[in-house]
Structure 1
Amino acid sequence: MTTALRRLRNYIDGEFRDAADGRTTEVVNPATGEPYATAPLSGSEDVDAAMAAAEAAFPAWRDLIPAERQKVLLKIADRFEERAEELIAAESENCGKPIALVRSEEIPPMVDQIRFFAGAARMLEGRSAGEYMDGFTSIIRREPVGVCAQVAPWNYPMMMAVWKFAPALAAGNTVVIKPSDTTPASTVLIADIIGSVLDELGHPRGVFNVVCGDRETGRLMVEHKVPAMASITGSVRAGMQVAESASKDLKRVHLELGGKAPVVVFEDTDIAKAVEDIATAGYFNAGQDCTAATRVLVQESIHDEFVAALAKAASETKTGAVDDEDVLYGPLNNANQLKQVKGFIERLPAHAKIEAGGEQVGEKGYFFAPTVVSGLKQDDEIVQHEVFGPVITVQSFADEKQAVEWANGVEYALASSVWTKDHARAMRMSKVLDFGCVWINTHIPLVAEMPHGGFKKSGYGKDLSAYGFDDYTRIKHVMTSLDG
């Protein structure tokens, strides 16, 4: 007996629609490896319609006083709480994520982040007006940039959608967002939530639009003439393609790309505590996190003890079914990602040693065991490139100078952490580590008030915080003559 697949649809100008040409793609639950829904494979006609809706809605949304936009966002946050179980179910099916962890680790921060940006809507700060030339007064206007084309990733599809639409809407922009082709379900549900709020409060339907599709759909969005800004969270390759496409008409670009976070552990560290926290930060969400603690550098005097403890922690970490409350993470997101992680393990050099894991687990789905690999060198592929899986590598360093050299010796620069009881050393390391975030004696906590974003091939622009809000605004100088 065949179970009918659920039909997901685009959300354009307040209406749920199929792709104009009727094309669809199957959506697979990574915990089972089986399809559960179809989603539109949108083309140029769908993108045109979404952009036209967002463009038409922009003037009215832009001209609202900030307090009115705040009301909308606060009601959206309330509705997220009211419909939390629906969001949890959609995201769990989207990603195979443990239900309990989506409930505890994703819903509360998302609601908090929406409320933060609701407040930011009323904090359009600028430099003081004044006279900088005799007979003239200058003022600064901070304005929304316009229509924003946004592309969200598959690792945190629901939360990354929040990181994109919340600051954009708060600043007075309108949005067309594309979820990943493997994880559209929760974003379509978010469209239903936001659309209902806009309707209730009497605002234009085209303020928020969702277009499902693949890379080609994303390319059509970025290259479209309407958006003033393109924002993407994704791979380095995808970011480069977006930057190149956007350059054709000089769109503003906001990029949050890959990471290869160094975790620098000095010999004075509390090993048991560090291992516990690093294992959690490395394996959470199956290591599918740009900030994951996956590249550990350990001072040579404690290397063997640390590796043994980390391997034990890995062996005690569970992956499994979405309804098992004892698991830390679920499957890898898709078959291609599972193949990529396996490939890194299969290509390990002879000097590498698998201390734990290293294999697929389970009879169905895309589950991979918590893995620890030691004996690695700085130029090894698995050290230099993002695995995006539950794999932690370990290298041994001699001194602080070498730790800094190796930590910075990758093309990514998103996040890092330092583990030491020496305050002066921690401060020295936080200065020289070339990453957008440096955690000290912790790894991976985020708060709405602080920026998230990297350097080098990790992209540019900030998510979260007032800095993330600023990215969705433009600055205008207005000068007036005092002669009347």
Structure 2
Amino acid sequence: MNLNHYLSVEEISVSTRLQNYINGAFVAASGAGDFELTSPVTGERVALSPVSDAADVDAAFAAARIAFSSWKSVTPSERQRCLLALADKLEQHSDELVEAQHRNTGQPRRIIAAEEVAAGADQLRFFAGAARLLEGRGAAEYLEGHTSYVRREPVGVVAQITPWNFPLMMALWKIGPALAAGNTIVLKPSETTPESTLVLARLAGEVLPAGVFNVVLGDSSTGALLTDHDTPAMVAITGSVRAGQAVAASAAKSVKRTHLELGGKAPAVVFADADLHKAAELILTFGTFNAGQDCTAVTRVLVQDSVHDEFVELLATQAAKLTTGDPDDAKNDYGPLNNARHFETVRTKLQRIPDHTTVVTGGVPAEDAKGFFVQPTIITGVRQDDQLVQEETFAPVLTVQPFSTEEEAITLANGVDYALASSVWTTNQGQAMRVSRDLDFGCVWVNTHLLLVAEMPHGGFKSSGYGKDLSLYSVEEYTRVKHVMHAVD
């Protein structure tokens, strides 16, 4: 089915084949393969998405390359105007964006509206302002008789790949700073969650010149075509460590710049003097938000041994209050896992937990459950080298480990390959300062977790990748620095 526009939710049928957005228009993909989009709530097919081929990718990059020749010279104030207009359109079309994404993710609609549409519009407005705040060293005579200054320039055409856990938000985190800096974009959303990105593309096309923002649909093979292509000067991805490694290896062949925001295994370090009731409530909330499909979600609870048993009971009490699995998303605190493959991976991990562990609540999903829902799961008795501790589960699954001393807590917290996010729970200010300093993570929260603001950077260390999303740091990542020197005599 050839479409000349992106259909509304009501118009889409299970036979619909979604389209790419290239050079300001929706166009049918030339790739022959299709990917079935299924509802995580019911498991039923909702649409078909194409697997774009080399010809599709070539066309998108050609459009972006042509558009860059003029977009790079657009003034910061004009780029600001475009981003502010796009933010307004997000709010005006909130219901459409929410429904498109809900079809693909099963997330509660109120969560999409608040955490991705409304928050995304706010973040775009921040990037709109950031477009006019690029910084460099002041012009001066650093060498006698010569004046030097720094130019910050867009890197060029950028390839971007986004994940399925927060499709709209991750797209906005990518395009906001890239557009603010004057780049043009070819973006590939996750194969299981493309629809809100297509709505975003249509709205962006109403305020941006043709070719500035392009979207190609497909699976990992399409992503490889993006990273291998000669055109992009930079590849940015939010995804798994394995996906990031593949992007980095491919980009290295042509010395492309990369921006990698990868997985996490966030610890919450709970000391005995913390407000335990409040900590338990918030940690369960932050560990199960979006069904735990968040690289910053609490996944490892490290609690001082003197209050270990009490805190486990408090966590179990909070878990019993959470609701998921209802087809009516208004009744759910969080929705399903995104897709059947991920659901089966989580199921297998839960079936293979070691005998030395104890499942306090939750566990293996019911065999006859409809949709990809997992109950909040708390597991105690884990060891530091267990798979559940060392590897990202990406589900509402929390492990609990005791510690005796501050030093032991830091050792356990840092003893994984990931280093994206963490939190400290204590009423001792000195302890909070010391532990925040020693935790080897890109973000440390104190007596809270997961909260983000546009003004502050988000990104990790070690296997969690490098590069910062949000803040002025992210805009700078999409620029290159040029030194210009003038002889004054």
TM range (shorter): over 0.9
What letter matches 1:57 in structure 2?
A
| Structure 2 partner of 1:287 | 292
Query: Is 1:458 the equivalent of 2:464?
Result: yes
Q: Name 2:455's counterpart in structure 1.
A: 449
Displacement of 1:311 in angstroms is 1.1
Matched residue, 1:364: 370
Q: CA offsets, 1:361-415, max 9 Å, x none?
A: 5632101111000011111110000000010110001110100000000000000
Aligned counterpart, 2:185:
175
Check if 1:37 corresponds to 2:47: yes
Residues 17-56 of structure 1 aligned to structure 2 (within 5 Å): 17-56=27-66
Q: Corresponding residue for 2:481?
A: 475
Q: Spell out, residue by residue over 1:83-106, the C-alpha distance to the aligned partner (whole angstroms, 9 max, x if none).
A: 000001011111000112212222
Q: Which residue of 2 aligns with 1:426?
A: 432
Return the letter of the residue paired with 1:158: L
Q: Deviations over 1:284-314 (max 9, x none)?
A: 0000000001100000000000001101211
Q: In the alignment, residue 397 of structure 2 is paired with which amino acid?
A: V
Map Cα deviations across residues 150-192 of structure 1 (whole Å, 9 max, x no partner): 0000000110000000100110000000000111111111111
Contact map agreement 2:262 2:464 (CA 8 A) in 1: yes
1:247-302 CA-to-partner distances (Å, cap 9, x unmatched) read 00000000000000010000001111000100000000000000001100000000
Give the count of matched residue pairs. 477
Asked if 2 retains the 8 angstrom alpha-carbon contact of 1:110 and 1:162, the reply is: yes
Matching residue of 2:336: 331
Give the match for residue 263 of structure 2: 258
Contact 1:99/1:322, CA 8 A, preserved across alignment: no
1:273 to 1:366, Cα distance in 2 relative to 1, 3 A: same
Q: 1:5 aligns with which of 4, 12, 15?
A: 15
Which residue of the partner structure matches residue 410 of structure 2? 404
* Matched residue type, 2:486: T
Q: Which residue of 1 aligns with 2:380?
A: 374
Matching of residue 117 in structure 1 with residue 122 in structure 2: no
C-alpha distance in 2 between matches for 1:83 and 1:376: 46
SS of residue matched to 1:226? coil
Q: 2:217 aligns with which of 198, 205, 212?
A: 212
Contact 1:97 1:322 survives alignment (8 Å): no
Q: Residue type of the partner of 2:423?
A: S
What letter is aligned with 1:359? Answer: V
Where does residue 311 of structure 1 map in the other structure? Answer: 316
Q: Which runs of 5+ in 2 are unaligned?
A: 1-12
Residue 274 of structure 1 is matched in structure 2 by 279
Contact 1:98 1:321 in 2 (8 A): no
1:406 and 1:412 map into 2 onto residues whose CA distance is 12
Distance 1:117 1:310 in 2: 38
State the shift of 1:322 in Å.
Answer: 5.9
| Shift in Å, 1:324 | 3.4
Matches within 5 A, 1:154-233: 154-198=164-208, 203=209, 205-233=210-238
Aligned to 2:8: none
Kept in 2, the 8 Å contact 1:100–1:323? The answer is no
Query: Greater CA deviation, 230-239 or 310-319?
Result: 310-319
Once residues 421 and 224 of structure 2 are traced to their aligned partners in structure 1, the CA distance between those partners, rounded to angstroms, is 28
1:94-105 map, 5 Å: 94-105=104-115
TM-score by length of 2: 0.96
Moved more, 208-217 or 100-109: 100-109
Cα distance in structure 2, aligned partners of 1:169 and 1:125: 17
Residue 345 of structure 1: aligned partner = 350
Residue 153 of structure 1 aligns with which residue? 163
Alignment of 1:231-246 (within 5 A): 231-246=236-251
In 1, are the aligned partners of 2:106 and 2:336 still within 8 Å (CA)? yes
Q: Secondary structure at the match of 2:392?
A: coil
**Structure 2 contact 68–156 (Cα < 8 Å) conserved:** yes
- The letter of the residue matching 2:58 is D
1:355·1:373 contact (CA, 8 Å) conserved in 2?
yes
Q: CA deviation at 1:5?
A: 2.9
Indicate conservation of the 8 Å contact 1:30/1:95, yes or no: yes
Q: CA deviation at 1:321?
A: 3.8
Deviates more, 1:142-151 or 1:313-322: 313-322
1:415 touches 1:435 (CA, 8 Å); kept in 2?
yes
Q: CA RMSD in A?
A: 1.2
Q: Deviations for 1:424-446, whole angstroms, at most 9, x for unmatched residues?
A: 00000011000000000001000
CA-CA distance at 1:6 after TM superposition: 3.0
Task: Say whether 1:416 aligns with 2:422.
Answer: yes
The yes-or-no answer on 1:58 pairing with 2:68 is: yes
User: What is the Cα deviation at residue 197 of structure 1?
Assistant: 1.7
Tell me, in whole angstroms, the C-alpha distance in 1 between the residues paired with 2:482 and 2:292. 42
State the TM-score, normalizing by the size of structure 1: 0.97
Contact 1:99 1:323 in 2 (8 A): no
Distance in 1 (CA, whole Å) between partners of 2:93 and 2:323 is 29
Residue 247 of structure 1 corresponds to: 252
Give SS of 2:36's match.
Answer: strand
User: Between the two proteins, what is the percent identity of the paired residues?
Assistant: 57
Single out whichever of 468-477 and 343-352 deviates more from structure 2: 343-352
Taking the aligned partners of 1:359 and 1:345, their CA distance within structure 2 comes to: 6
